[in-house]
Amino acid sequence: MAESVVRSHELLTLVCEFQDGLPHDIRRVRPAADAAATAMRFYFDHGRNYYSLFGATPFFALVDSLHSCVGAWMVDRGDADVPRLLRFLPSALPAVLVHATLDGNMVLLNAHLYRIENPIGRDIAKLLYATAAWFHRPVVLVRLDPHVAPDLPLCVADGAAYRGDLEALKLLVGRNAPVNAPMTYAALQGHLVVLEYLHAHNIGRCQKAAMDGAAARGHLAVVQFLHAHRREGCGTRAIDDAAANGHADVVRFLVEHRDEGWTRRGIENAKFNGEVEIARYLEGRSLR
Protein backbone atom coordinates (compact mmCIF):
# COMPACT_ATOMS: atom_id res chain seq x y z
CA MET A 1 0.00 0.00 0.00
CA ALA A 2 2.75 2.46 0.98
CA GLU A 3 4.64 1.67 -2.21
CA SER A 4 1.58 2.34 -4.36
CA VAL A 5 1.10 5.72 -2.71
CA VAL A 6 4.72 6.69 -3.31
CA ARG A 7 4.48 5.65 -6.95
CA SER A 8 1.26 7.62 -7.52
CA HIS A 9 2.01 11.31 -8.05
CA GLU A 10 -1.62 12.29 -7.36
CA LEU A 11 -1.86 10.29 -4.13
CA LEU A 12 1.56 11.42 -2.93
CA THR A 13 0.65 15.07 -3.54
CA LEU A 14 -2.60 14.61 -1.63
CA VAL A 15 -0.83 12.97 1.32
CA CYS A 16 1.78 15.72 1.46
CA GLU A 17 -0.91 18.38 1.39
CA PHE A 18 -2.54 16.88 4.46
CA GLN A 19 0.64 16.34 6.50
CA ASP A 20 -0.75 18.50 9.33
CA GLY A 21 -4.40 17.87 8.55
CA LEU A 22 -4.80 20.86 6.23
CA PRO A 23 -4.49 21.31 2.48
CA HIS A 24 -1.53 23.42 1.41
CA ASP A 25 -3.61 26.45 0.41
CA ILE A 26 -5.49 26.41 3.74
CA ARG A 27 -2.23 26.35 5.70
CA ARG A 28 -1.38 29.68 4.07
CA VAL A 29 -4.29 31.28 5.94
CA ARG A 30 -3.34 29.95 9.38
CA PRO A 31 -1.09 32.99 10.16
CA ALA A 32 -4.06 35.24 9.44
CA ALA A 33 -6.24 33.25 11.85
CA ASP A 34 -3.55 33.54 14.54
CA ALA A 35 -3.14 37.28 13.87
CA ALA A 36 -6.89 37.82 14.18
CA ALA A 37 -7.01 35.97 17.50
CA THR A 38 -4.17 38.10 18.88
CA ALA A 39 -5.69 41.32 17.54
CA MET A 40 -8.99 40.46 19.19
CA ARG A 41 -7.27 39.86 22.52
CA PHE A 42 -5.53 43.23 22.30
CA TYR A 43 -8.80 44.88 21.32
CA PHE A 44 -10.64 43.69 24.40
CA ASP A 45 -7.68 44.02 26.78
CA HIS A 46 -7.15 47.68 25.80
CA GLY A 47 -10.74 48.55 24.95
CA ARG A 48 -11.02 51.33 27.50
CA ASN A 49 -8.18 53.35 26.01
CA TYR A 50 -7.70 53.79 22.27
CA TYR A 51 -4.27 55.34 22.70
CA SER A 52 -3.15 52.31 24.70
CA LEU A 53 -4.41 50.02 21.94
CA PHE A 54 -2.76 52.18 19.29
CA GLY A 55 0.52 52.85 21.07
CA ALA A 56 1.17 49.85 23.30
CA THR A 57 0.23 46.95 21.02
CA PRO A 58 0.84 45.86 17.42
CA PHE A 59 -2.94 45.78 16.86
CA PHE A 60 -2.95 47.63 13.55
CA ALA A 61 0.10 45.76 12.28
CA LEU A 62 -1.76 42.52 12.97
CA VAL A 63 -4.83 43.79 11.11
CA ASP A 64 -2.69 44.77 8.11
CA SER A 65 -0.97 41.40 8.20
CA LEU A 66 -4.14 39.32 8.26
CA HIS A 67 -5.70 41.51 5.57
CA SER A 68 -2.75 40.87 3.26
CA CYS A 69 -2.67 37.17 4.05
CA VAL A 70 -6.37 36.56 3.41
CA GLY A 71 -6.26 38.86 0.40
CA ALA A 72 -3.50 36.81 -1.23
CA TRP A 73 -5.50 33.63 -0.64
CA MET A 74 -8.65 35.25 -2.07
CA VAL A 75 -6.81 36.22 -5.26
CA ASP A 76 -6.07 32.54 -5.86
CA ARG A 77 -9.27 30.95 -4.56
CA GLY A 78 -12.02 33.59 -4.63
CA ASP A 79 -15.13 34.16 -2.51
CA ALA A 80 -16.66 30.88 -3.61
CA ASP A 81 -13.99 28.84 -1.83
CA VAL A 82 -14.44 30.55 1.56
CA PRO A 83 -16.91 27.90 2.87
CA ARG A 84 -14.24 25.26 2.18
CA LEU A 85 -11.65 27.37 3.99
CA LEU A 86 -13.90 27.66 7.02
CA ARG A 87 -14.68 23.93 7.04
CA PHE A 88 -10.99 23.12 7.31
CA LEU A 89 -10.02 26.12 9.46
CA PRO A 90 -13.00 27.51 11.43
CA SER A 91 -10.66 29.77 13.40
CA ALA A 92 -10.10 31.78 10.21
CA LEU A 93 -13.62 33.29 10.42
CA PRO A 94 -12.56 36.53 12.19
CA ALA A 95 -9.73 37.05 9.69
CA VAL A 96 -12.04 36.48 6.73
CA LEU A 97 -14.64 38.91 8.07
CA VAL A 98 -12.05 41.56 8.95
CA HIS A 99 -10.70 41.22 5.41
CA ALA A 100 -14.22 41.59 3.99
CA THR A 101 -14.78 44.66 6.16
CA LEU A 102 -11.57 46.36 5.04
CA ASP A 103 -12.26 45.53 1.39
CA GLY A 104 -15.86 46.68 1.69
CA ASN A 105 -16.82 43.28 0.24
CA MET A 106 -20.50 43.26 1.15
CA VAL A 107 -21.18 40.05 -0.79
CA LEU A 108 -18.64 38.12 1.26
CA LEU A 109 -19.70 39.81 4.49
CA ASN A 110 -23.41 39.17 3.95
CA ALA A 111 -22.74 35.55 3.03
CA HIS A 112 -21.09 34.80 6.37
CA LEU A 113 -22.63 37.15 8.94
CA TYR A 114 -24.93 34.34 10.08
CA ARG A 115 -21.83 32.64 11.49
CA ILE A 116 -21.46 35.32 14.22
CA GLU A 117 -25.00 35.02 15.57
CA ASN A 118 -23.86 33.28 18.76
CA PRO A 119 -22.16 34.33 22.03
CA ILE A 120 -18.64 33.94 20.62
CA GLY A 121 -19.65 35.68 17.42
CA ARG A 122 -20.73 38.78 19.34
CA ASP A 123 -17.10 39.51 20.17
CA ILE A 124 -16.17 39.11 16.51
CA ALA A 125 -18.97 41.53 15.60
CA LYS A 126 -17.53 44.15 17.96
CA LEU A 127 -14.10 43.78 16.38
CA LEU A 128 -15.60 44.17 12.90
CA TYR A 129 -17.57 47.20 14.02
CA ALA A 130 -14.44 48.89 15.34
CA THR A 131 -12.57 48.03 12.15
CA ALA A 132 -15.32 49.61 10.04
CA ALA A 133 -15.33 52.71 12.27
CA TRP A 134 -11.55 53.16 12.20
CA PHE A 135 -11.00 52.47 8.50
CA HIS A 136 -13.84 54.60 7.10
CA ARG A 137 -16.23 51.87 6.03
CA PRO A 138 -19.61 53.54 6.75
CA VAL A 139 -21.64 51.10 4.62
CA VAL A 140 -20.18 48.18 6.56
CA LEU A 141 -20.78 50.02 9.82
CA VAL A 142 -24.48 50.39 9.05
CA ARG A 143 -24.74 46.76 7.93
CA LEU A 144 -23.11 45.48 11.12
CA ASP A 145 -25.18 47.62 13.46
CA PRO A 146 -27.96 45.04 14.09
CA HIS A 147 -25.34 42.44 15.00
CA VAL A 148 -23.51 44.52 17.61
CA ALA A 149 -24.47 44.73 21.28
CA PRO A 150 -24.65 48.23 22.82
CA ASP A 151 -21.80 47.59 25.28
CA LEU A 152 -19.02 48.57 22.88
CA PRO A 153 -15.55 49.26 24.26
CA LEU A 154 -14.79 52.95 24.78
CA CYS A 155 -12.04 52.80 22.19
CA VAL A 156 -14.45 52.49 19.24
CA ALA A 157 -15.83 56.05 19.27
CA ASP A 158 -12.58 57.51 20.59
CA GLY A 159 -10.73 55.81 17.74
CA ALA A 160 -13.10 57.27 15.16
CA ALA A 161 -12.38 60.73 16.61
CA TYR A 162 -8.63 60.07 16.56
CA ARG A 163 -8.81 59.07 12.92
CA GLY A 164 -10.96 62.06 12.02
CA ASP A 165 -13.90 60.07 10.68
CA LEU A 166 -16.84 62.36 11.41
CA GLU A 167 -19.31 60.20 9.48
CA ALA A 168 -18.48 57.12 11.55
CA LEU A 169 -18.49 59.17 14.74
CA LYS A 170 -21.99 60.46 14.05
CA LEU A 171 -23.21 56.92 13.44
CA LEU A 172 -21.67 55.79 16.73
CA VAL A 173 -23.10 58.73 18.66
CA GLY A 174 -26.48 57.99 17.12
CA ARG A 175 -26.43 54.50 18.62
CA ASN A 176 -25.25 55.88 22.00
CA ALA A 177 -21.84 54.25 21.78
CA PRO A 178 -19.84 54.92 24.97
CA VAL A 179 -17.09 57.52 24.77
CA ASN A 180 -14.18 58.52 26.96
CA ALA A 181 -12.20 61.52 25.74
CA PRO A 182 -12.93 61.90 22.02
CA MET A 183 -12.18 65.63 22.02
CA THR A 184 -8.68 64.93 23.25
CA TYR A 185 -8.13 62.33 20.54
CA ALA A 186 -9.46 64.60 17.79
CA ALA A 187 -7.27 67.47 19.01
CA LEU A 188 -4.13 65.35 19.09
CA GLN A 189 -4.51 64.61 15.40
CA GLY A 190 -5.59 68.10 14.37
CA HIS A 191 -9.13 67.13 13.37
CA LEU A 192 -10.73 70.52 13.94
CA VAL A 193 -14.09 69.71 12.32
CA VAL A 194 -14.48 66.63 14.52
CA LEU A 195 -13.48 68.63 17.59
CA GLU A 196 -16.02 71.35 16.77
CA TYR A 197 -18.77 68.73 16.41
CA LEU A 198 -17.92 67.05 19.71
CA HIS A 199 -17.74 70.38 21.52
CA ALA A 200 -21.03 71.63 20.04
CA HIS A 201 -22.83 68.49 21.19
CA ASN A 202 -20.95 68.15 24.49
CA ILE A 203 -19.86 64.61 23.68
CA GLY A 204 -17.30 63.06 26.01
CA ARG A 205 -14.42 64.59 27.89
CA CYS A 206 -11.70 66.99 26.89
CA GLN A 207 -8.41 67.10 28.81
CA LYS A 208 -5.34 69.28 29.19
CA ALA A 209 -3.62 66.71 27.02
CA ALA A 210 -5.73 67.99 24.12
CA MET A 211 -4.01 71.38 23.95
CA ASP A 212 -0.65 69.94 25.01
CA GLY A 213 -0.76 67.36 22.22
CA ALA A 214 -2.13 69.71 19.57
CA ALA A 215 0.60 72.24 20.38
CA ALA A 216 3.32 69.59 20.21
CA ARG A 217 2.11 68.56 16.76
CA GLY A 218 1.74 72.11 15.44
CA HIS A 219 -2.05 72.17 15.11
CA LEU A 220 -2.44 75.93 15.58
CA ALA A 221 -6.13 76.09 14.60
CA VAL A 222 -6.96 73.42 17.17
CA VAL A 223 -4.95 75.22 19.87
CA GLN A 224 -6.80 78.44 19.06
CA PHE A 225 -10.17 76.69 19.20
CA LEU A 226 -9.43 75.07 22.55
CA HIS A 227 -8.21 78.40 23.93
CA ALA A 228 -11.38 80.17 22.80
CA HIS A 229 -13.99 77.55 23.65
CA ARG A 230 -12.70 75.17 26.32
CA ARG A 231 -11.62 75.64 29.93
CA GLU A 232 -9.28 72.69 30.44
CA GLY A 233 -6.22 74.75 29.53
CA CYS A 234 -2.81 73.17 29.06
CA GLY A 235 0.46 72.57 30.90
CA THR A 236 3.95 73.93 30.45
CA ARG A 237 4.66 71.07 28.09
CA ALA A 238 2.45 72.75 25.46
CA ILE A 239 5.05 75.45 24.82
CA ASP A 240 7.97 73.18 25.69
CA ASP A 241 7.01 70.57 23.11
CA ALA A 242 5.89 73.07 20.46
CA ALA A 243 9.27 74.80 20.81
CA ALA A 244 11.21 71.55 20.63
CA ASN A 245 9.32 70.55 17.49
CA GLY A 246 9.81 73.89 15.74
CA HIS A 247 6.22 75.16 15.75
CA ALA A 248 7.00 78.87 16.11
CA ASP A 249 3.45 80.04 15.36
CA VAL A 250 2.05 77.85 18.13
CA VAL A 251 4.74 78.99 20.58
CA ARG A 252 4.00 82.66 19.93
CA PHE A 253 0.25 82.17 20.24
CA LEU A 254 0.56 80.37 23.56
CA VAL A 255 3.05 82.87 24.96
CA GLU A 256 0.82 85.78 23.98
CA HIS A 257 -2.54 84.29 25.02
CA ARG A 258 -1.92 81.78 27.81
CA ASP A 259 -0.27 82.06 31.20
CA GLU A 260 0.78 78.45 31.90
CA GLY A 261 4.31 79.31 30.78
CA TRP A 262 7.19 77.03 29.83
CA THR A 263 10.32 75.54 31.34
CA ARG A 264 14.02 75.46 30.63
CA ARG A 265 13.51 72.03 29.10
CA GLY A 266 11.61 73.59 26.21
CA ILE A 267 14.42 76.03 25.46
CA GLU A 268 17.15 73.41 25.69
CA ASN A 269 15.26 70.94 23.52
CA ALA A 270 14.60 73.64 20.94
CA LYS A 271 18.33 74.40 20.79
CA PHE A 272 19.18 70.71 20.57
CA ASN A 273 16.80 70.33 17.62
CA GLY A 274 18.22 73.37 15.83
CA GLU A 275 15.27 75.66 16.57
CA VAL A 276 17.55 78.52 17.58
CA GLU A 277 15.14 81.37 16.81
CA ILE A 278 12.42 79.84 18.97
CA ALA A 279 14.90 79.32 21.80
CA ARG A 280 16.00 82.96 21.56
CA TYR A 281 12.39 84.12 21.54
CA LEU A 282 11.64 82.22 24.74
CA GLU A 283 14.88 83.32 26.38
CA GLY A 284 13.88 86.89 25.66
CA ARG A 285 10.74 86.41 27.72
CA SER A 286 10.67 85.74 31.43
CA LEU A 287 10.58 82.05 32.39
CA ARG A 288 7.42 81.13 34.27
For the domain that residue 219 is a member of, what is the CATH number?
1.25.40.20
Which of the four pLDDT bands, split at 50, 70 and 90, describes residue 35?
Answer: very high
| Burial (CB count <10 Å: 0-12, 13-18, 19+), residue 117 | exposed
Mean pLDDT of 175-179: 92
Same domain, 116 and 209: no
| Burial (CB count <10 Å: 0-12, 13-18, 19+), residue 98 | buried
What's the chain's Rg over C-alpha atoms? Answer: 25
| Burial (CB count <10 Å: 0-12, 13-18, 19+), residue 23 | middle
Least confident of 119-133, 200-214, 242-256, 263-277: 119-133
Same domain, 143 and 264: no
pLDDT for the residue 135 = 94
Evaluate if residue 4 carries a pLDDT over 80. Answer: no
Same domain, 272 and 136: no
Residues whose CB is less than 8 angstroms from the CB of residue 226 and which lie 6 or more positions away in sequence, other chains included? 187, 195, 206, 210, 211, 214, 232, 234
Same domain, 288 and 165: no
- Structurally, the chain folds into a number of domains equal to 2
Same domain, 168 and 253: no
Model confidence over 44-75: pLDDT tens digits?
999 888 888 887 789 999 999 999 999 999 99
The kind and range of the H/E element at 142 are: helix 138-144
In a domain, 254, yes or no: yes
Taking Cα atoms as reference points, which of 212, 249, 217, 215 lies closest to residue 232? 212
Largest pairwise CA distance in the chain: 92
Same domain, 214 and 146: no
Backbone angles phi, psi at 57, to 5 degrees: -135, 160
Contact 145, 138 (CB under 8 A): no
Same domain, 143 and 266: no
In a domain, 185, yes or no: no
Same domain, 151 and 250: no
pLDDT for the residue 19 = 53
Alpha-carbon span 130 to 8, nearest angstrom: 50
Same domain, 134 and 25: yes
> Where is pLDDT greater, at 152 or 85?
85
Taking Cα atoms as reference points, which of 287, 224, 279 lies closest to residue 261? 287
Alpha-carbon span 276 to 268, nearest angstrom: 10
Predicted TM-score (pTM) of the model is 0.85
Segments forming the whole domain that contains residue 268: 205-288
